[in-house]
Chains A and B, each alone.
Chain A
Amino acid sequence: MTAPPDIARPTKPQETFVLNVGPQHPAAHGVLRIKMTMDGEFVTRAEPILGYIHRMHEKMGENRTWAQFLPNTGRIDYLSALHYNHAFVGVVERALRIEVPPRAEFIRVITSELNRISSHLVWWSAFLIDLGGMTPLLYAFDDREKLLDLLEGVTGSRLTYCYFRFGGLCNDIDDSFIAGARAFVAQMRPRLKLYRDLVTDNIILRKRLEGIGPISAEMCRKYGATGPVLRGSGVAYDVRRAEPYSVYPELAFEIPTYPAGDSMARYLVHMAEMEQSLRIIAQALDKLPAGPVMGKVPRVLRLPPGDYCFAVEAARGRFMVRVVSDNKDIPYRVKLRTPSFSNLSLYEEASRGMILPDVLALLGSLDLVIPDIDR
């Protein structure tokens, strides 16, 4: 429901009150704080206030060697740690022109896509909690545990992976992983259908999401929003296709887009992306070549002076690492362009004049990870 025009405009100050949502609030997904100026239940202004989980990742980049910074990348957006791994090893490989063996690239893609599914499952469940549905969380976490078993077997951790290395991977996968991944793909497809029947087609959910929080493609561009937010506005932008990296050009997949731009469109993009990820995993498993998983890497990493960028499609959108090197073994500057930061920046404009439950539904549909915003 949108507000009547006299409410969408800022009204007289004495008619409004300020509601602080967060830093501790069930809808804050962590420690986001949103200062809402309310007129009754209508939100005249929702201003995100950041920094409650600022963890100095960029400063830490200037304090440790290239390899020592790698574990940090798993803790920026902890839900899509492998994509962030990928971006950072990618930028170093690009600068030093390190050849990565094809087997390593395929395994990177397989594990990254598994990670994307796990991230989307967590988003899905957290979003449904925002909408007041508790049970999907448990279903999603049940499936996610199976996926985490697979990833834990090769990466050694459940959440904050540090699996990729400059020039390859730290571990090769074995047959049990391949069999497990195939089984997971076979098992997950009917589960996605179950989710569609149980949740997506639910009339209450549709009423809650359709037409809520429309974001136009132009607004996305002005704010630099990417990922499911941009694809939910009908723009088929995916870094995996726009700036191809790894072996994505060899794999067939679609970029799901929905033109409506509302929360439902973003929801459907996420659900469709899980299917596409399954498709990518199945193909990559079929094409997986034999060979080493580690290329030739110099013993001491020193990037030639200059600046280098590498972008990946993380679960939340375009993640770019920009490093500046001054020919030392520690970076001179590491800039992390995180998707959640840009995706949240349009929130203030997009949420104006909506009512409180819709504002929070919009917030959930943006798929935010707060440490990813604050870094």
Chain B
Amino acid sequence: MEAPVDTSQIVQFAKLDELLALSRANSLWPLTFGLACCAIEMMAAGGPRFDISRFGAEVFRPSPRQADVMIVAGTINKKMAPAVKTLYDQMLEPKWVIALGNCAISGGPFVFPGQYAVVEGVDKLFPVDVFVPGCPPRPEALIEGILALEKKLTGKRRWPVVTPPQ
């Protein structure tokens, strides 16, 4: 039997792909899924001052089937890990993951020799697209994470990067 041909190398719909990527980048529906402290900052990012809805990303869907991006906001421990993995598996392609906060990145402050409960980073469970550091990250950081994900999708950044004055 022949090896399956990777058709994406032969047939490309460049413009359509671009359009789809642009659409997906503008319509990232997150999963309503807060684990710990970072979830409060995720809520604050939806609040009036930061307003994640400007980028079309405020449609928090409670069902993983309808969500596009999973914002892992908090510590994952060994009891929770199978549930998080299930949620990831229940999400449909294309799907992305933002690891929000140090706990989701590496276990954060809860890693010490002899620790027995915390999964040291959500990338131990499934691939992560954007890491947003902080304990907890500020809402701006989450918005920056969403912009970074948009850049990953479309190849270009929505806004020029602001360099802070020296």
Task: Verify if B153 is at the interface (C-beta below 8 Å from A).
Answer: no
Knowing A52-B83, A54-B117 touch, does A60 contact B40 (C-beta < 8 A)?
no
* Residue in B31, B37, B115, B138 whose CB lies within 8 Å of A371: B37
Task: Verify if B75 is at the interface (C-beta below 8 Å from A).
Answer: yes
Task: Verify if B43 is at the interface (C-beta below 8 Å from A).
Answer: yes
Residues of A within 8 A of B31 (CB): 24
* CB atoms of B112 and A60 under 8 A apart: yes
Task: Verify if A141 is at the interface (C-beta below 8 Å from B).
Answer: yes
Per the 8 Å Cβ criterion, residues 117-156 of B in contact with A are 117-118, 135-136, 138
* CB atoms of A24 and B36 under 8 A apart: no
A141 to B46, CA, bound (A): 9
* Residue in B40, B110, B135 whose CB lies within 8 Å of A56: B110
A-side interface residues, number (CB < 8 Å): 35
* CB atoms of A55 and B48 under 8 A apart: no
Please name the residue on chain A nearest to B34 by beta carbon: A30
Per the 8 Å Cβ criterion, residues 43-82 of B in contact with A are 43-44, 46-49, 62, 64, 74-75, 77, 79-80
* Residue in A56, A71, A75, A138 whose CB lies within 8 Å of B48: A138
Q: Write the nearest CB–CB distance from A371 to chain B, whole angstroms.
A: 5
* CB atoms of A26 and B32 under 8 A apart: yes
Knowing A30-B35, A59-B116 touch, does A54 contact B77 (C-beta < 8 A)?
yes
Q: Write the nearest CB–CB distance from B79 to chain A, whole angstroms.
A: 5
Residues of A within 8 A of B62 (CB): 25-26
Could you mark each residue 25-55 of chain A with 1 if its beta carbon is under 8 Å from any beta carbon of chain B, else 0?
A: 1100111000000000000000000011111
Task: Verify if A137 is at the interface (C-beta below 8 Å from B).
Answer: yes
* CB atoms of A56 and B116 under 8 A apart: yes
* Residue in A24, A26, A158 whose CB lies within 8 Å of B41: A158
* CB atoms of A30 and B136 under 8 A apart: no
A54 to B47, CA, bound (A): 28
Residues of A within 8 A of B114 (CB): 59, 63
| Chain B: number of interface residues, binned into ranges | 35 or more
Knowing A52-B83, A78-B36 touch, does A141 contact B116 (C-beta < 8 A)?
no
* CB atoms of A159 and B109 under 8 A apart: no
* CB atoms of A53 and B47 under 8 A apart: no
A23 to B85, CA, bound (A): 12
Residues of A within 8 A of B41 (CB): 158-159
A63 to B109, CA, bound (A): 13
* CB atoms of A53 and B36 under 8 A apart: yes
Residues of B within 8 A of A141 (CB): 43-44, 46-49
* CB atoms of A56 and B136 under 8 A apart: no
Task: Verify if B87 is at the interface (C-beta below 8 Å from A).
Answer: yes
* CB atoms of B43 and A79 under 8 A apart: no
A370 to B35, CA, bound (A): 9
Could you mark each residue 137-179 of chain A with 1 if its beta carbon is under 8 Å from any beta carbon of chain B, else 0?
A: 1100110110000000000001110000000000000000000
Residues of B within 8 A of A64 (CB): 112
* CB atoms of B47 and A145 under 8 A apart: yes
* CB atoms of B80 and A55 under 8 A apart: no
Per the 8 Å Cβ criterion, residues 326-374 of A in contact with B are 370-371
Could you mark each residue 300-327 of chain A with 1 if its beta carbon is under 8 Å from any beta carbon of chain B, else 0?
A: 0000000000000000000000000000
Task: Verify if B33 is at the interface (C-beta below 8 Å from A).
Answer: yes
A180 to B135, CA, bound (A): 26
Q: Write the nearest CB–CB distance from B124 to chain A, whole angstroms.
A: 16
Among A25, A26, A51, A56, the most chain B Cβ lie within 10 Å of the Cβ of A56
A51 to B75, CA, bound (A): 12
Per the 8 Å Cβ criterion, residues 90-123 of B in contact with A are 109-110, 112-118
Per the 8 Å Cβ criterion, residues 201-253 of A in contact with B are none
Task: Verify if A72 is at the interface (C-beta below 8 Å from B).
Answer: yes
* Residue in A25, A145, A160 whose CB lies within 8 Å of B37: A160
Task: Verify if A272 is at the interface (C-beta below 8 Å from B).
Answer: no
Task: Verify if B39 is at the interface (C-beta below 8 Å from A).
Answer: yes
Per the 8 Å Cβ criterion, residues 122-137 of A in contact with B are 122, 125, 137
* CB atoms of B36 and A23 under 8 A apart: no
Q: Write the nearest CB–CB distance from A144 to chain B, whole angstroms.
A: 8
Binding site for B on A (CB under 8 A): 23-26, 29-31, 51-56, 59-60, 63-64, 71-72, 75, 78-79, 122, 125, 137-138, 141-142, 144-145, 158-160, 370-371
Besides A60-B110, A371-B75, 16 new A-B residue pairs in contact (Cβ under 8 A), listed by A number: A24-B83, A24-B87, A26-B62, A31-B80, A52-B80, A55-B75, A55-B117, A56-B115, A59-B115, A59-B116, A63-B113, A63-B114, A78-B37, A138-B47, A142-B48, A159-B37
21 A–B contacts from the bound complex (CB under 8 Å)? A24-B87, A26-B32, A29-B34, A31-B34, A31-B35, A52-B79, A53-B74, A53-B75, A54-B77, A63-B113, A63-B114, A64-B112, A71-B109, A75-B37, A78-B36, A78-B136, A79-B40, A122-B43, A137-B47, A158-B44, A371-B75
